[in-house]
Amino acid sequence: MAYNSLIARVELTHVSFGEVASVIGKAGGDIISIDVISSSGDSSVRDITIEVGDSEEQQVVENLKAMSGIKVINVSDRTFLSHLGGKVSVESKIPIKNRDDLSRVYTPGVARVCSAIHEDERKAYSLTIKRNTVAVISDGSAVLGLGDIGALASAPVMEGKAMLFKQLGDVDAFPICLDTQDTEEIIRTIKNIAPIFGGINLEDISSPRCFEIEERLTKELDIPVFHDDQHGTAVVVIAGLLNALKVVGKNIEDIRVVVNGIGAAGVAICKMLLSAGVKRLVPVDFEGAIIHGGEYSYPMWQWLAEQEQVESQPGTLKEVIQDADVFIGVSRAGLLNGEDVEKMAADPIVFAMANPNPEIAPEEALKHVRVFATGRSDYPNQINNVLVFPGIYRGALDCRASLINEPMKLAAARAIASVVTDKELNEQYIIPSIFNEHVVEKVRDAVIETAILTGVARRIPPDFR
């Protein structure tokens, strides 16, 4: 169940706060804080912050309204409040206080700088925001697990990613929502806006179009192009899996892995599992298991069907999950229940990563599995690509990498896993928190080192000389 937090502004006249608290509690709400806004003789106005599950939210409000001696002035949702006016803004680095400042940052002074870049384009890296700016671009076609909700509705996610880029990696990221889902038009548009950016982070673009868009842009642009839902997710899954396997004492070569949802994230996860050494893989989508030797119209599914590590036994998700050591879900909410995961092999590992609601309710899964993770921040073991993109881009921008290659991604996965020491490692702690200060730094260093080794770095940062 998802939890929201509400602020109810209420006027209490002939009722004690204790009675109000008990009504909120009975309806399933938890009081987080109380602020007295005003108080006079026999009445007081208070803001009550309440944490409540999705399904109980309405009940809490209705019960408050039904009480006598209390007037509900208004109810606001704190999540919506934090989105008012959007979540990011653009700021200048230097103030313009007088004409002299103006003539340097703007015309006429700026003209000389333009000419310098015209003569040598590389100067854009030192004289514009290009060196530290990434575009976060979506067409709104696969937003979280919400599906095709369109460009504008994807904006809160893109703004959120921009905030995370800045706070965690000190990367200036700009949200861009494209009003087209046509592959060629997306490619053309991104190429046309690319000059000012040092990197392109593709986000929530559905498969199979995302594969061609990323591949073509990587070939046609000289800045890194990274589809977060593919590679960010695959990197963090491998990091979590390496540590989860240590917890349960299994080897990657011996495990049987079911991946459900063979879209952007699922394809990249399957590929990375194979390169990490998995020998028994069952990719599953709507029509059940994608099997070795099968014929499929999507090129990526066909590619999987040609891999010898992919099993040849057909079946539905509920069938193939039996005896699996690991389940990785990047599909939709609520596809599994406790009975399904109970049939897995001993010490099951379940990463239910659909957002915002996982493939299996945590309360149900936790009773049956040994290691459990979701993409969310309100449960232990958050396996989310936010652990990856700030550090990957910090590293790629610092060494001016022309692209982000497979070895750089694998190095990033190992770096994330290594943040949790063997002493700290346990079922509840297989992956570091996004607030762990070592994550970005370790990922950045691993990315730079590997970029240099693989010849894609165009600058050696001073701390690597």
Ligand X SMILES: NC(=O)c1ccc[n+]([C@@H]2O[C@H](COP(=O)([O-])OP(=O)(O)OC[C@H]3O[C@@H](n4cnc5c(N)ncnc54)[C@H](O)[C@@H]3O)[C@@H](O)[C@H]2O)c1
Q: Which of 3, 26, 65, 106 is catalytic?
A: 106
Locate 371 and state its tokens. Answer: 């290691």
Pick between residue 5 and residue 385 the one whose CB is nearest to ligand LMR.
385
**Interface with ligand LMR in residues 72-91 (CB under 6 A):** none
DSSP for 320-367, please give it: HTTT-SEEEE-S-SS---HHHHHTSPSS-EEEE--SSS-SS-HHHHTT
Pick between residue 61 and residue 336 the one whose CB is nearest to ligand X.
336
Q: Among 175-183, 199-207, 267-275, 281-289, which window interacts with Mg ion (CB under 5 A)?
A: 199-207
Contact residues toward ligand X (CB under 6 A) are: 142, 144-145, 206-207, 229, 233, 260-266, 284-286, 330-332, 335, 353-355, 375, 383-385
Pick between residue 160 and residue 288 the one whose CB is nearest to ligand LMR.
160
Is 77 annotated among the ligand-binding residues?
A: no
Pick between residue 17 and residue 296 the one whose CB is nearest to ligand X.
296
Collapsing DSSP to helix, strand or coil, 389 comes out as helix
Under rule CB under 6 A, how many of the chain's residues touch ligand LMR?
9
Q: Is 159 in the site for ligand LMR (CB under 6 A)?
A: no
Q: Which of 161, 271, 409, 442 is catalytic?
A: 161
Pick between residue 292 and residue 332 the one whose CB is nearest to ligand X.
332
Q: How far apart are CA 225 and CA 403, in angstroms?
A: 7
Nearest residue to 415 via CA among 381, 439, 384, 449? 439
Give the one residue of 133, 275, 355, 454 binding ligand LMR; rule: CB under 6 A. Answer: 355
Q: How far apart are CA 84 and CA 87, in angstroms?
A: 8
Is 51 annotated among the ligand-binding residues?
A: no
Q: How far apart are CA 226 and CA 269, in angstroms?
A: 15
Q: What is the largest CA-CA distance in the chain?
A: 80
Helices (H), 254-298: 264-275
Q: How far apart are CA 457 and CA 455, in angstroms?
A: 6
Q: Is 340 in the site for Mg ion (CB under 5 A)?
A: no
Told to judge if 191 belongs to the known catalytic residues of this protein, a careful annotator would answer no
Residue position matching structure tokens 């599953």: 284
Environment class of 23 (CB within 10 Å of its CB; exposed 0-12, middle 13-18, buried 19+): middle
Give least dist CB 344 to ligand X, A.
17
DSSP bridge pairs for 201: 136, 226
What is the per-residue binding string for ligand LMR in 373-412, x denoting contact by CB under 6 A?
--x--------xx---------------------------
Instruction: Yes or no: say if 378 and 356 are a contact pair by the CB < 8 Å rule.
Output: no
Give least dist CB 204 to Mg ion, A.
4
Q: Is 204 in the site for Mg ion (CB under 5 A)?
A: yes
The binding site for ligand LMR (CB under 6 A) comprises: 144, 157, 204, 228-229, 355, 375, 384-385
Interface with Mg ion (CB under 5 A): 204, 229
